[in-house]
């Protein structure tokens, strides 16, 4: 291999890569001027429990094997009363997360985890701030989705945590 050959990055395959991604991402989050204080000062996160919870979360999302049983909406809804959890914060979180994925991994699973993160950032942001989810903007819906969403909206909704 010559100096010019890029070293091929691996794809996410399972738990070991999830652990590496989560550890690297939260090292960056803690050092980040926009997000670090939300964990260390506002939520006073216990990293010894939060990191294993996040390994389980992402393993469950990606490989259905992590055994995650938390409540992400409630965890973030609590923060709204304590700090700004606006769109800029979520965009910044997403940029940091996707940048970390890109620095470490390449491939189908790497692309998938970035898409999942973007979807969940949309859901969490819109639910905790009571703003419409852009995925359900009528302008973006197919007729079939519009019909399904109308049915969903007419059902009684569970109380927001
Ligand atoms: C502005 C962006 C975000 C901020 C500031 C943020 C911050 C936090 C904080 C402070 C906690 C609680 C940690 C503790 O227990 O002390 C938490 C929990 C968590 N976050 Fe986020 N978060 C953000 C976005 C996201 C996104 C987009 C996802 C998913 C892709 C996510 C997934 C989770 C999960 C799964 C938990 C654990 C929930 C539980 O305890 O059941 N977060 N987050």
Q: What is the per-residue pLDDT for 2?
A: 54
Q: Is residue 122 part of a domain?
A: yes
More confident residue, 119 or 141: 119
Does residue 67 lie within any of the structural domains?
yes
Secondary structure class of 93 (helix, strand, coil): helix
What pLDDT score was predicted for residue 6?
67
Domain span at residue 46?
15-153
| Number of domains forming the structure of the chain | 1
**131 or 118, which is more confident:** 118
Say whether pLDDT at 157 is over 70.
no
Q: What mean pLDDT, rounded, does the chain reach?
A: 89
Q: How many helices (H) and strands (E) does the chain have?
A: 7, 0
How far, in Å, is the centroid of ligand 1 from the Cα of 76? Answer: 6
| Mutate-to-test residue for ligand 1 from 36, 57, 72, 119, highest number of ligand atoms within 8 A of CB | 72
Domain of 67, CATH number, reads: 1.10.490.10
**Residue identifier of the C-alpha nearest atom 9 of ligand 1:** 39
- Is residue 53 assigned to a domain? yes
Is 148 a member of any domain? yes
Q: End-to-end alpha-carbon separation of the chain, Å?
A: 54
Structural domain contains residue 41: yes
Tens-place pLDDT, residues 131-146: 877 776 777 777 887 7
The DSSP string of 1-66 is: --TTSPPPPPPP-SHHHHHHHHHHHHHHHHT-TTTHHIIIIII---HHHHHHHHHHHHHHHHHS-S
**Residue 98 located in a structural domain:** yes
The mean pLDDT of 40-49, rounded to a whole number, is 97
Query: Is position 20 within any domain?
Result: yes
Which has the higher per-residue pLDDT, 1 or 90?
Answer: 90
Least confident of 55-59, 96-100, 143-147, 148-152: 148-152
Per-residue confidence (pLDDT) for residue 66, from 0 to 100:
81
In a domain, 49, yes or no: yes
């Amino acid at each position: 291999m010559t100096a010019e050959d890029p070293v091929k990055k691996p794809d996410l395959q399972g738990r070991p890569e999830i652990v590496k991604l989560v550890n690297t991402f939260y090292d960056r989050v803690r050092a980040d001027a926009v997000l670090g204080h939300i964990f260390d000062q506002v939520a006073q996160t216990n990293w010894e429990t939060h990191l294993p919870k996040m390994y389980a979360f992402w393993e469950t999302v990606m490989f259905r094997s992590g055994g995650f049983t938390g409540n992400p909406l409630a965890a973030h809804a609590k923060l709204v009363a304590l700090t700004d959890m606006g769109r800029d914060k979520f965009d910044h979180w997403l940029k940091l997360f996707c940048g970390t994925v890109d620095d470490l991994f390449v491939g189908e699973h790497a692309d998938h985890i970035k898409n999942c993160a973007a979807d969940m950032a949309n859901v969490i942001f819109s639910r905790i701030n009571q703003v419409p989810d852009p995925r359900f903007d009528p302008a973006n819906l197919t007729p079939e989705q519009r019909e399904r969403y109308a049915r969903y909206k007419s059902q009684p909704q569970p109380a927001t945590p």
